[in-house]
């Protein structure tokens, strides 16, 4: 797979020098993540963050035919959505917003925050932040409409320091989230 990506980038540079503009990006600055949809996780798409845009590859196993979305200061412009992604189970997914952030605590992290509207067995909205990777081969992923779990709200998968369980007149306020959680995948 790595050879195909390198050849694809080389082909883009060659095509643009002969006057055919496909899409141009530097391999060094492009960062990737995957998005999984549904409980069976049988459908992935790939997002590639270039210096000035976001490329969506609807077939996560190939890097052909990307859709290009311009970014306005790291976010999809207001009103712009990534249209329906069908996974074959009667459920469709529409990415309604994307923004990005960089965080240096506890370690440097460049991530996207994705909001997705799910229409199928139920209609609801989920969001997830997913870390971007410089390589297609070790990408993290956001998983929408997957198996749900409940757990305490965490920061980088850790319960915040200083959290104590107190009983009595002023008990501890514990926040929980219901989500598709997978520490290994980063979601």
The two three-digit tokens of residue 119, written as one number: 């229409």
* Region for residue 145 given its phi and psi (left: phi exceeds 0; alpha: psi -120 to 50; beta: otherwise): left
Between the alpha carbon of residue 4 and those of residues 11, 61, 136, 153, the distances in Å are 10, 12, 11, 40
Contacts of 42 (CB under 8 A, 6+ apart): 87
Domain that holds residue 15: 2-179
Residue 171 counted as domain residue: yes
Res. 6: pLDDT tops 50: no
Average pLDDT over residues 80-100: 84
Average pLDDT over residues 67-75: 87
User: Would residue 184 count as lying in a domain?
Assistant: no
Q: Confirm whether 185 is domain-assigned.
A: no
End-to-end CA distance of the chain: 24
Highest mean pLDDT among 18-27, 108-117, 149-158, 175-184: 108-117
Q: With pLDDT > 90 as the criterion, what percentage of the chain qualifies?
A: 5
pLDDT at 115: 92
The domain total for the chain is 1
Whether residue 98 lies inside any domain: the answer is yes
User: Is residue 167 situated within a structural domain?
Assistant: yes
β 43-49/31-37 pair status: antiparallel
Does residue 131 lie in a domain region? Answer: yes
Between 182 and 68, the higher pLDDT residue? 68
Instruction: Answer yes or no: pTM beyond 0.75.
Output: no
List the one residue out of 173, 89, 91 whose CA is nearest residue 126.
91
Q: What is the mean pLDDT of the chain?
A: 75
Cα–Cα distance, 125 to 144 (Å, whole number): 9
State both tokens at 48. 């590639």
Q: Is 109 exposed, middle or buried (0-12, 13-18, 19+ CB in 10 A)?
A: middle
- Residue 186 inside a domain? The answer is no
- At 63 the pLDDT is 67
């Amino acid at each position: 797979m790595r050879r195909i990506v390198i050849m694809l980038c080389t082909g883009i540079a060659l095509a643009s020098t002969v006057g055919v503009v496909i899409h141009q990006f530097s391999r060094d600055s492009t960062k990737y993540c995957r998005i999984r949809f549904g409980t069976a996780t049988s459908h992935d798409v790939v997002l590639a963050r270039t210096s000035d845009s976001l490329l969506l590859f609807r077939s996560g196993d190939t890097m052909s035919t990307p859709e290009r979305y311009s970014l306005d200061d790291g976010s999809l412009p207001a009103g712009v959505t990534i249209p329906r992604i069908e996974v074959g189970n009667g459920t469709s997914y529409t990415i309604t917003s994307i923004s990005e952030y960089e965080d240096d605590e506890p370690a440097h992290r460049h991530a996207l925050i994705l909001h997705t509207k799910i229409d199928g067995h139920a209609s609801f909205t989920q969001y997830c932040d997913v870390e971007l990777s410089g390589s297609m081969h070790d990408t993290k992923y956001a998983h929408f409409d997957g198996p749900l779990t409940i757990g305490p709200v965490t920061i980088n998968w850790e319960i915040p320091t200083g959290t104590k369980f107190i009983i009595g007149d002023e008990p501890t306020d514990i926040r929980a989230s219901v989500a598709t959680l997978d520490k290994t995948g980063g979601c």
